[in-house]
Amino acid sequence: MRVFFDTNVLVSAFTAHGTAERAFQLALLSHTVLTSEYVLGELRAKLSQKMKVPAAEMSFTLEYIRKVAEIVPAKGVAPKRSRDPKDDQVLHDAMSGGAGILVSGDKDLLSVTDLEGIAVISPRSWIELHTQ
């Protein structure tokens, strides 16, 4: 399955060793992990500005993600689908990459229902799918 992770899940996966990290690792085991330049740009900004991650560690993290994930190319303009306009690009990139799952903890993203076959689920729900 093709699995797209939103920015905040990636931030948590690489800064807090918990549910998000486990969800990301489970996806790497037997799925294709997707991301986009947009998400990587947001991740860079949040790691450096909000989380104060040192530059070398941030670069290592971004390089690692580039190695293990498929980078979805930007395609067209993101249509309005979410209550939060910043989430529209994430949704668009997940759809453009053919994701079957979008893993997110964002309430605005979790509330979107018209994604043409993409299920938006929390990291915990993603883990539960693998532990049943």
Span 27-86, pLDDT tens digits: 999 999 999 999 999 999 999 999 999 999 999 999 999 999 999 988 776 666 677 778
Note down the domain range covering 26.
Answer: 2-130
Q: Which residues contact 118 (CB under 8 A, 6 or more apart)?
A: 4, 94, 95, 99, 100, 101, 102
Q: Copy the structure tokens of residue 88.
A: 């529209």
CATH number, domain with residue 100: 3.40.50.1010
The sign one gets for the Cα dihedral 32, 127, 116, 82 is negative
Cβ proximity of 3 and 33 under 8 Å: yes
Span 101-129, pLDDT tens digits: 999 999 888 888 767 789 999 999 999 99
Cβ proximity of 43 and 70 under 8 Å: no
pLDDT attached to residue 112: 82
pLDDT attached to residue 79: 62
Count: domains in the chain: 1
Q: Quote the CA–CA distance of 33 and 25 in Å, as a whole number.
A: 10
